[in-house]
Structure formats: structure tokens, C-alpha cells
């Protein structure tokens, strides 16, 4: 049966009114809670809409097609929101806005810095910050929680209703005022103020529908680069959220050419890049860096200022460049925020690492065995905060048949696969290499690097290691289920 569209019974301008009624109507709320519970795996499903039969049953129980559609929208948004918000089942969410909402941990990290730069502190609230394009309020709520007085602005009246509701749920409603308005011409005082902007990356589209194409350049954002530049010039300092994959370096260079202090911080959460935050004005001058990589939840940061310390001999000397990755060497898989921030090469030089294949732009780094034997424990611990450290067992051809046979010979039924420039997704390769689906993942990882035939390679390694593994298992034949056990 084809999926029905649950969003066609009320225009976009009034759909949020039916959602609010659903949140306040006891019968609709009971229906919402039951539907939102749903299948716990549904949030990851590509089929989020209900079937025609499901929708018809809800309409029959509630006696209103508009109310039934609203209940389903809320239920599906909450299901999806559980992957991001711990309190999703209490929040008023929207399917598209949930996708664009800042991850809570990232929002709190950013809010802490912005409130501090603006002179506020937790428990005292002298700071007023204007949050443009607030959506359902992930950033606005974090800013209010960290000590700001918030003016949250969005062109969509429904979003202002949602952020106000969510502020009440979080207990910060007295610190947040919602305003309907155009980010290009905000009806608030800007001169000398503080600003946060999360531009809409799906401008002009119906916020009631999920999985719509998003802009891949800043020129496609709303507000666009010209408006953002004007807002930045009129305010004392602040932060603008960009996608890590978009063309933020060009916009940062544009601001710097106008004499505006800029720092771009690429933030990752659990080794997944979440956003590139452009700090400007007084907010950028606090740190004095131009580029920053931040890995959460550890909170470790690396900046271009740290890289400049290398020239002063304050960290470790670089390893000599070598083409091979021999048995016993260390392979380091860095947090992706370092590469996205353009800091990976400087980081590698600072820590005495070399790129595995610099000509191909490979992100994997290595330390050779003779250097690894003398590597300090505090250096190992520090590196572990920036990625995974693996001990190389062997290097071989980029031939999956070869490695399947090799893993069977070793008695390794399953292996983690990491790829770069490889034509297949890592998950698909992992399934092809698994010859015993019941086996546990025992710590072996196969790194596959694509490219030109002569440069394609595969490396089997043990890890990720921790400090207790420091040069502890030089003999892989006797280590943790390897060959010969």
C-alpha cells in the first residue's frame, strides 16, 4: 500500500495551530503519545509517513482530519527527534526543523562560549543575544540555559510557537522572547549587539515535509551571504552556523578582507562533523585563532595557534616520510574535524606523524615502529583524544578475496572496515569480508585506501588502542585472537 500524505488537510500557515490544539486536547494528546511510542527503529526509516489505513483510523478516533494530521506530524517529529533530543517526547518538534536543529551537546558548547564572550555568566543574565532563524530552538534554549537573555526570531510563526513551548518545557521561558520577523530586517536593535544565526538550508520549502533537498553552498542559504555580511557588520560579535561541507572558507576570507576578525570552529560529536561555527568580531578576538577543530564530548580543541607552536620546537619532531606502513607501526585515524578545519597537516607535524598517502589526500597518519617504541605515555593518551590509534599487523593488496582468505586463516570471523577513496561503502565491504556472522568484533580493523592501482592498499591493524596497550603487544601471533592462538 502506498503511503498517504498526512500533511494535506491544513495550509502551512494554520497547520501549527492544529498541532497546538493536539498538544492541549486530552484525547489527541493520548493518541499522540501512543503513536510517538511507535517502533523505536522508525526514526531511522526512510518511510516516516503513515499508511492510508493508519491515518484513517486516527481520523475516526479523533473525528477531525486536521487534528489527525497534526497528531501524526507531531508523533513522527518526536520519533525522529529522539535521535537528537533526550526530552523529545516533551518537545514540540517539526520533521524538517529537527533535521536542521543543532545537536544539543554542540549547542551547549557553542552557547557557553558565546555567552562568555558577551560578558554573561550562568546565574547572572546581563547579556541579550538575538538568535535569528531559531527553528524549534536548540541553540536558543542552550543560550538561555547558559546565561543569556534571548530574543528568538523566525519568519515562521509556527516555529516561534514551538520555541516558546520548548522554552517552557526546559524551564527557561522567562529568559526567552519569541518574535516573528525577517532575518534580513530584524525588528530589534542590532547596533553593538550580539548575534547567533542558523541560516535556513532549505529556503522556500514546506517545513511540514521531510527529506527535501538542502543548499550545498552559502549562496543558497536564507539569509544569504550579502545579508549575513550586513548583519555581521552591524553587531559587536557573534556566531553563524554553517555546514562543515559547505563553502565557509570563501565567506570567512570575504569577511577577513573587510577587516573583520574571524575564527571558524569545526565541531564534531562522536567523530562525526556537526557544524562549522563562524565566530566573528569580539567573539573571535577572545581566542585569537583563525581556525579551530573541536572534538566532543572530550572538549579537546586544536587551533592554528597551536600549529604555530611547532615552529618554536614546543612539541614533537616530525617523523620522516616513508611509503610503507610496516608491521608494528602505529596507524592513527584522526577525528574528521581536523581535516574539515584545514588543520590536519599542522596537527600531524606537531605530533610527529606523517600522512599515509599525502598525494591522494589520505587522512590516515602513521608513526613507525622504531618511533612508537619510545613514544611517551602522555603523548599516546593525548593522541587518543583526537582519534583512534591502531597497531599495524600487515599491509597487503587492495584485494577483498585476499583479505577474506587471510582473515579466515587468522580465525577472525568479523572485522571493522574503514575506507578512503574506496568505491563501496565501508558497511558493504564489511559484509563481504564476514565469513562468520556469529563472531564478535575482536578489535581487528581493515583500512582500505583506493586510488590509482599502484597506490591502492589495505592495512590490517589492531585497535583502537588505549594507554594500557602502550607497546604491550608487539607479537600479534599471541595477541587477542590473532594468528596462532
pLDDT at 267 over 70: yes
pLDDT at 1 over 50: no
| Distance from C-alpha of 3 to C-alpha of 51, rounded to nearest angstrom | 4
Mean pLDDT, range 55-75, rounded to an integer: 93
Mean pLDDT, range 92-112, rounded to an integer: 95
Mean pLDDT, range 257-274, rounded to an integer: 96
91 Cα distance to chain centroid: 21
Q: How confident is the model at residue 7 (pLDDT cuts 50, 70, 90)?
A: very low
- Give the Cβ contact number of residue 361 at 10 Å: 12
User: What residues does each domain of the chain span?
Assistant: 12-83, 99-288, 313-478
pLDDT of residue 351: 82
pLDDT of residue 245: 92
pLDDT at 115 over 90: yes
Lowest mean pLDDT among 92-96, 182-186, 228-232, 363-367: 363-367
Q: How confident is the model at residue 134 (pLDDT cuts 50, 70, 90)?
A: very high
pLDDT at 251 over 90: yes
pLDDT at 474 over 90: no
Instruction: Note the pLDDT tens digit of each residue in 146-159.
Output: 989 999 999 999 99
Positive or negative CA dihedral for 220, 203, 279, 182? positive
pLDDT of residue 52: 87
Instruction: Note the pLDDT tens digit of each residue in 165-199.
Output: 999 999 999 999 999 999 999 887 777 789 999 99
DSSP structure class, residue 360: G
pLDDT of residue 44: 45
pLDDT at 209 over 60: no
Q: Which residues pair with 331 in a beta bridge?
A: 366, 390
pLDDT of residue 229: 97
Which residues are CB-neighbours of 289 under 8 A, at least 6 positions away? 263, 303, 304, 305
User: What does pLDDT average to over the chain?
Assistant: 83
Q: Which residues pair with 394 in a beta bridge?
A: 460
φ/ψ (deg, to 5) at 189: -70, 130
- For domain 99-288, the question of CATH label 3.40.47.10 is answered with no
Mean pLDDT, range 264-271, rounded to an integer: 96
Amino acid at each position: 500500500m502506498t503511503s498517504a500524505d498526512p500533511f494535506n488537510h491544513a495550509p502551512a500557515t494554520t497547520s501549527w495551530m492544529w498541532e497546538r490544539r493536539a498538544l492541549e486536547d486530552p484525547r489527541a494528546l493520548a493518541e499522540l503519545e501512543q503513536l510517538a511510542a511507535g517502533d523505536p527503529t522508525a526514526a531511522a526509516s526512510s518511510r516516516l509517513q503513515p499508511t492510508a489505513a493508519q491515518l484513517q483510523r486516527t481520523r475516526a478516533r479523533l473525528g477531525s482530519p486536521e487534528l489527525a494530521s497534526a497528531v501524526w506530524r507531531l508523533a513522527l517529529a518526536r520519533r525522529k527527534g529522539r535521535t537528537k533530543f533526550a526530552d523529545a517526547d516533551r518537545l514540540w518538534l517539526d520533521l524538517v526543523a529537527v533535521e536542521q536543529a543543532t545537536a544539543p551537546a554542540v549547542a551547549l558548547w557553542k552557547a557557553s562560549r558565546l555567552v562568555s564572550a558577551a560578558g554573561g555568566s550562568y546565574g547572572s543574565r546581563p547579556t541579550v543575544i538575538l538568535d535569528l532563524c531559531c527553528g524549534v530552538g536548540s541553540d536558543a534554549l542552550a543560550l538561555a540555559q547558559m546565561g543569556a537573555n534571548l530574543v528568538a526570531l523566525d519568519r515562521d510563526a509556527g516555529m516561534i510557537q514551538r520555541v516558546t513551548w520548548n522554552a517552557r518545557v526546559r524551564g527557561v521561558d522567562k529568559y526567552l522572547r519569541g518574535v516573528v520577523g525577517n532575518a534580513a530586517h530584524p525588528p530589534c536593535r542590532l547596533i553593538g549587539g550580539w548575534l547567533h544565526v542558523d541560516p535556513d538550508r532549505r529556503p522556500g520549502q514546506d517545513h511540514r515535509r521531510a527529506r527535501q533537498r538542502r543548499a550545498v553552498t552559502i549562496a543558497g542559504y536564507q539569509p544569504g551571504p550579502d545579508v549575513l555580511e550586513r548583519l555581521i557588520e552591524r553587531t559587536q560579535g557573534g556566531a553563524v552556523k554553517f555546514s562543515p561541507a559547505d563553502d565557509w572558507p570563501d565567506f570567512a576570507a570575504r569577511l577577513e578582507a573587510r577587516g573583520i576578525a574571524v575564527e571558524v570552529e569545526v565541531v564534531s560529536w562522536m567523530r562525526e562533523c556537526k557544524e562549522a561555527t563562524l565566530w566573528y568580531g569580539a567573539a573571535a578576538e577572545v581566542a585569537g585563532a583563525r581556525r579551530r577543530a573541536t572534538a566532543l564530548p572530550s572538549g579537546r580543541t586544536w587551533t592554528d595557534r597551536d600549529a604555530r607552536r611547532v615552529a618554536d620546537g614546543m612539541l614533537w619532531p616530525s617523523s620522516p616520510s616513508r611509503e610503507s606502513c610496516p608491521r608494528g607501526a602505529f596507524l592513527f585515524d584522526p577525528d574528521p574535524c581536523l581535516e574539515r578545519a584545514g588543520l590536519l597537516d599542522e596537527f600531524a607535524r606537531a605530533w610527529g606523524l606523517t600522512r599515509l598517502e599525502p598525494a591522494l589526500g589520505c587522512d590516515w597518519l602513521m608513526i613507525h615502529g622504531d618511533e612508537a617504541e619510545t613514544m611517551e605515555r602522555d603523548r599516546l593518551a593525548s593522541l587518543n583524544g583526537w582519534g583512534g590509534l591502531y597497531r599495524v599487523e600487515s599491509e597487503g593488496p587492495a584485494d577483498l578475496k585476499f583479505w577474506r582468505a587471510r582473515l579466515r586463516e587468522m580465525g577472525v570471523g568479523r572485522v571493522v572496515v574503514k575506507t578512503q577513496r574506496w568505491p563501496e561503502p565501508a558497511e558493504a565491504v564489511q559484509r563481504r569480508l564476514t565469513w562468520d556472522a556469529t563472531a564478535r568484533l575482536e578489535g581487528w580493523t581493515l583500512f582500505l585506501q583506493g586510488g590509482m592501482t599502484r597506490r591502492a592498499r589495505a592495512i590490517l591493524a589492531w585497535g583502537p588502542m588505549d594507554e594500557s596497550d602502550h607497546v604491550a603487544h608487539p607479537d600479534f601471533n599471541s595477541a587477542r585472537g590473532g594468528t596462532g592462538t
